[in-house]
Structure 1
Amino acid sequence: MPSSPDDQELERLAGRVGERLRQAHDRVVTAESCTGGWIAKAMTGVAGSSDWFDSGMVAYSYEAKQRLLGVRPQTLESEGAVSREAVIEMVSGALVNSGASVAVAVTGIAGPGGGSADKPVGTVWIGWKRRGGYTRAELFQFQGDRDAVRRQTVARALEGLEALE
C-alpha cells in the first residue's frame, strides 16, 4: 500500500473489512480523535454497512474523551491523550458505550503543530479490541502533512480490523 493511500484504496479496504465483519456476524464501533470520523466515513461509505457498522464517536477534547469514552482524567494528566494508556481506555469505552462486538480507536498528532520531542507530528496510537477478548495497541510514526498522516492512520486502523481474529 502506498504511504498515503488515496480515497479509492481506503474504500476498497473498508469494503474488505466490512465483508469480513459481516461474515463473522460482528459489528464495529469507532472511537476517533485525530481522524475526526474519517474511519467511520470510510466504513459507512460501503453499501450495506448498516449490517456491520454500529456507531462512531469523535472525541477530540480531553473532556469528550472522558465523557464519551470513559478515559480517566489521571490517564490524560499523566500520560497524555496520545498514549498507549489513553487509546486502550478509548477502545474499551467505545465497546462499553455501544452494541458492537469489535472496536477501533485512534489518537495522535496529525500536525502541522502540536508535536514535541517525545511525541513528534505523525505520532499515532491505534487500538483494537474484541468484546470479551483481547486488546491490542500499536504505536505508529507516520510521515507527511496532516492529510497524509490522517490517511495513513485510517488505512492502518482498517488493516488492523481486517486482521482481527
Structure 2
Amino acid sequence: MNSNVLRLAASLVAGVIFGFGLSLSGMLDPKRVRAFLDITGDWNPSLAFVLGGAVFVSALGVLLTRRLQHPLFDTAFHLPDNRVIDRRLIVGSAIFGTGWGLVGLCPGPALASLSLGLPATMLFVAAMIAGMLVHDRLFARGAPVREAAKAGTDGRLSHPH
C-alpha cells in the first residue's frame, strides 16, 4: 500500500479516536468546559479527569517516540526548533486561553462540534479560521520558510535521542 495512503488512513483513525474521546468526555459541551474553568463559581471538576487522562496518554506517547528512530509513516519527527519563551508566545497563549474561557471551546473540540450543526460552533470555527488567516497575513509572512532556507534544511528536525 502507498505510504501516503497509510499516512492518511492513520490520520483518519487518530482523528476519529480523538473526536470520539472529546465527545465521550464532554469536551464538546461549552457549558461544561466553562463550568470547569469557573473555579470561583459553580465549578465542575469532572474535566480534571479528562486532563489527567490526556497527560497520561501523552506521556506514554513521548516515551514511545524516544525509542523510535522515526515515525511509522514518515522519515523524521517534525518537532519545533524554537524553545524560547518570548512576548509573542505569552500574548498568543493569553489570547488563546481567554477565548477558550469565554467561549468554552478550543480548536479540537470546536472542529469535532461541527458535527452537531450548532450555529454558534460554526460561527466560532469561521472566526477561528479568519483569525488564523489574519495572523498569517500580518505576522507570519513566510517566516518558517525563510528560517529553513537560512538553515539550509526543509524545516524537518531529526528526533533528539
TM-score by length of 2: 0.22
Q: Which of 1 and 2 has greater Rg? A: 2
Quick check: which one's strand share is greater?
Answer: 1
TM-score by length of 1: 0.22
Greater RCO between the two (CA within 8 Å, min separation 6)? Answer: 2
